[in-house]
Amino acid sequence: MSRPPKAVNYDLTAILGLDELEVIRYEDGQYIAMNADHEVPKCIYCGGDTRNHDTRTRSFYDCIKDEEGEPQFIYLTYEQYMYQCLNTDCHSLFPRKIDFARGNSKLTKRLEEMIVHYGMFLSYGDIKCKFENKISRTTVKETISNWTKRHDEDRGAFYTPEILCIISFETTKVNYILIADGVDENKCILDVLPDIGSGQVMSILSRFDKSKIKRVVVDVNPTIVDTIRDQLPGVEIQVHTSALLLCAKKEFELLINSEGPHLYKVDRQSLLKSPQELATLEGSSNEVKWLNDQITYENNRISHITGTKPRIGAAYENMINLYKVLSTDSDYTNLKKWEDTVSIVCPEDFELTIAYIEHYMEELLNFYLRRTKVTMEIYNELVILNNIIDEFKAYSADVLRSKILYQVEPLLAEVDGKTLWRGVPLEKVLDITKKLLNEWRRRR
């Protein structure tokens, strides 16, 4: 049995572009639509026959795309049919199920997806303007938050890698922790914690089978190290040497800004380069002479600055020595000698770095002795991701998590008949995040 059809405006139906709906008319700025399936359904409770009972009107916020692919906000009025079961033992009343919106939401799914898409590179206020101020900033925020929560729930149980990487980062907007697989060649990101606290670390550890974790690679954040020591007794902790180097680099940058406030930006950047970066410049084969001249010029500028500013010169020499000590072909026992020297020559310039070496010497040595290709590479690639994230000037914790975890296809693992969340490949996350950043720059 089917319900009597109404006159359908096929041109408007094509513009609306929702397969399950047919547009009857356009009136007072609203698309008036009904379900395209005219068949009367079976009872959703007992499976018996039903009849048309009446209709109820539901209003939705929706969007379509114009000829240039830009979103155009619309109002959608849906005439939803109600059906009554003919079975005298049931006699239930129910509405036709819809797929274009969720439950009692007033937003269509495609509008939600569009809001989330723009949320990856626009602020809440900018998204509100994008839709002609017809949806509130609060609606935008709640839509992205709910979208993120749904995806969080869909992940289910986590796969436990033998080597777990727990690295903290700071941006101009938020501080957060990245959880990554230190074994998989894909260097998968397992989770993003939108805060740096012991509670966050304890919460994420509860999602893993702790008995399977053999080693944990961390940065020099005391909160993380102390929590791991407390929660995973007996598990080897490895402090990533690149994290120590980054700490020293930040302290050196502060010194440069203090002692050389009038230095050119390019000179500051040169001073902060590693020996390897100073020795290599990218260019084509026919630019070899020019590149060599550039390297020579850059080194001459560094020599001039370090020669005329003794404090910067001494700190620069210590930075170069630290690079050498932490390189894989160096005698790692020289790290203690470096600490002893700097503690005498310029302790105030590398105060944090010295403290971290004193507190984490064993953990730094653990990393050096048992480093792998994945654990060597993953920290530096996560730093690159953080630098990209930091360029976005407006985002929330939900946007941060969505941007990293839910923009690419995840990897799954089958263990004992269960499908486990294995995370998202870092390389693909870097790729999509760069594209989002380019989109953000284009729309500024």
pLDDT, tens digit, 9 for 90 and up, residues 286-303: 565 666 777 788 888 889
Nearest in space to 204 (alpha carbons), one of 401, 440, 427, 413: 401
Q: Which residues are CB-contacts of 418 (< 8 A; sequence separation ≥ 6)?
A: 157
88: in domain = yes
Q: What is the pLDDT of residue 14?
A: 92
63: in domain = yes
53: in domain = yes
303: in domain = no
What letter does residue 410 receive in the DSSP assignment? Answer: P
Residue with tokens 């039903």: 50
Contacts 24+ apart (CB under 8 A), 251-258: 251/349, 251/350, 251/351, 251/352, 251/353, 252/315, 252/316, 252/319, 252/349, 252/350, 255/311, 255/312, 255/315, 255/349, 256/312
Phi, psi dihedral angles at 26 (to 5 degrees): -115, 125
Host H or E run for residue 171: none
314: in domain = no
Segment 79-107 shows an average pLDDT of 91
Q: What is the pLDDT of residue 299?
A: 86
Residue with tokens 């606290």: 197
* Percent of the chain scoring above 70 in pLDDT: 94
Q: Where are the alpha helices (DSSP H) in 105-156?
A: 109-119, 124-130, 137-154
Count how many domains the chain has.
1
Q: Which of 213-222, 324-333, 372-381 has the lowest mean pLDDT?
A: 324-333
pLDDT band at 38 (very low <50, low <70, confident <90, very high): confident
Q: What is the pLDDT of residue 132?
A: 81
Q: What is the pLDDT of residue 288?
A: 59
List the structure tokens of 47: 């499976």
CA angle 296, 250, 231 (to 5 degrees): 135
List the structure tokens of 245: 């180097």
DSSP assignments along 25-77, one per residue: EEETTEEEEEES--BPPPPTTT---EEEEEEEEEEEEEEEE-TTS-EEEEEEE
Phi, psi dihedral angles at 419 (to 5 degrees): -95, 120
Residue with tokens 């402090």: 239
8: in domain = yes
Q: Is 166 in a helix, a strand, or coil?
A: strand
Please give the residue range of the domain that contains residue 50.
1-106
Give whole-number Cα distances, 383 to 83, 255, 429, in Å: 57, 22, 13
Q: What is the pLDDT of residue 281?
A: 58
What letter does residue 131 receive in the DSSP assignment? Answer: T
pLDDT digits (tens, 9 = 90+) for 257-289: 999 999 999 899 989 988 877 766 555 455 656
29: in domain = yes
Q: For the chain, give the mean pLDDT.
A: 89
14: in domain = yes
Whether 332 shows a pLDDT value over 90: the answer reads: no
Terminus-to-terminus CA distance in the chain, angstroms? 55
pLDDT digits (tens, 9 = 90+) for 362-409: 999 899 888 888 998 999 999 999 999 888 866 788 888 999 999 999
Whether 255 shows a pLDDT value over 70: the answer reads: yes
Nearest-angstrom CA–CA distance, 326 and 321 = 9
Beta-bridge mates of residue 166: 179, 218
Strands (E), 259-410: none
